[in-house]
Chains A and B, each alone.
Chain A
């Protein structure tokens, strides 16, 4: 296993009773595409910030790529291995020029200088921000910033990439692009961990970790999680549109054979239903 966590508990409120994470067990395999779902404050960001030691482990055990996250000597290796794109891109810029900002990250992680231009170029191209090399990050729109922040992480070529609501500020096509990039990176063998409030972005994941009030409520294949109405309700989430349609049609006496997860599956199920009746 690439990531193994056992009994992780965490509180921001030292001495207090409020736990942001409580008894979390987690395993992620090399090359897996994992989505983390859960309502606001359920502990998603807190959990993933443990993976590259942005937050210090308080209770339990956590290993990432054989590295004990509590081992402070390995912290740079860990951070290089495990890249993270946050929900607030503004927090991530250090330079006033886009290309320098990306190069700064490379420098930090001791990437050979000769590789800088090519890496910066290809990372910006991947997020379709070529041409913006000389711009100031703070002169970009919200979505453009988010793409540049993503490029900064991709340039480091980490093995594990964590997207913490990296699509939140993007328009629908931009969102689709980033989801495509995630899957492209996944195909090249990277391990992807994606946090999102857009439930339809999780249907193609290998596994969903469903969080609620600091605990892992369920963990499994998207089909098992997203089509379970009771579970979704317990997690205070709303299932994807095809799932809602399936159940709402059932109420009206239209029984489709299988509960679809994607629009394509839904359309297929409708066509099957029509050819049968």
Chain B
């Protein structure tokens, strides 16, 4: 499922009359089967963009096409949009409302055509995928979970419907390291099986290691877009240093100040380890 965004703008109305321009003239394309990361400072418009993609807000101007169809056109089938695009929002805790974890995850499957045992099987799959013991957790109240556990239940609810486009707003905030890796690896598998993934994150390592393309927003504008590695390299070259660099890039900068120059393409942990091995075990000298 491809997505086309054309000259998209969005303004929030304020009670005081002034308007917050949350998105300004954004154009980009996301190919079917891509894994796209969205990065940018607090308040730059990431969540707003996702709400527009999910059809929860209508653009102030501009258009969004999913598989060539304008999702805000009159007569566009909203139910189909809901089945095509699965979204996990930033505070998924508020998406949890059923009396048990099982019912909560099953809720999204209401319109899926699955019945009885099929629903149970799918819910089990989703919860187990998110690292839960299904039998242990199925009858618990979603409110009776730790912060990270709630988040994982919310993710299970979104993946259970197996939509063609999966959008996550800060999915790994609050997850412990193992759950983080587990989630990212799972999403990568979904992606390899053809699902288009869009992930907003403040975690530079996660973006660098897992996404294929990056969109960078600043104050409502799209200021960079492209293959992930290239974008990270470009952002590092910005003089203001305003944007997130990976931990590996930060170490490269510190090493450069001490006269040890590593290749500019070092972005991930693996890159850095390989470059250091090469440099320190003789390969880089003489």
Contacts and interface: CB of A to CB of B under 8 A. Distances in A.
B111 interface: no
Contact of B42 (A12, A45, A142, A168): A142
Given A142-B90, A244-B269, A41 B250 contact: no
Interface string A153-169: 00000000000010011
Contacts of A173: 41, 242, 244
Contacts of A172: 202, 204, 244
A253 B277 CA distance: 9
Nearest to A271: B258
A241 B41 contact: no
B55 interface: no
Interface in B1-36: 12, 14-16, 20
A40 B148 contact: yes
A241 B269 contact: yes
A41 B146 contact: yes
A174 B280 contact: no
Nearest to A249: B276
A245 B273 contact: yes
Interface in A227-256: 236-238, 241-242, 244-245, 248-249, 252-254
Interface string B174-190: 11111110000000000
A107 interface: no
A87 interface: yes
B251 A266 contact: yes
Given A141-B42, A172-B204, A270-B255, A253 B281 contact: yes
Interface residues of B, number: 49
B19 to A, nearest CB: 12
Interface centre among B14, B174, B269, B281 (most CB of A within 10 A): B174
- Bin the interface of chain A by size: 35 or more
A147 to B, nearest CB: 8
Contacts of B170: 142, 169
Contacts of A38: 176
B251 A40 contact: no
Given A40-B176, A245-B272, A88 B202 contact: no
Contacts of A139: 12, 14, 20
Nearest to B140: A13
A152 B280 CA distance: 50
A113 interface: no
Given A90-B91, A264-B254, A40 B146 contact: yes
Nearest to A37: B176
Contacts of B280: 249, 254, 270, 273-274, 277
Interface of A: 12, 38-41, 45, 87-88, 90, 134, 136, 139-144, 147, 165, 168-175, 197, 199-200, 236-238, 241-242, 244-245, 248-249, 252-254, 263-264, 266-267, 270-271, 273-274, 277
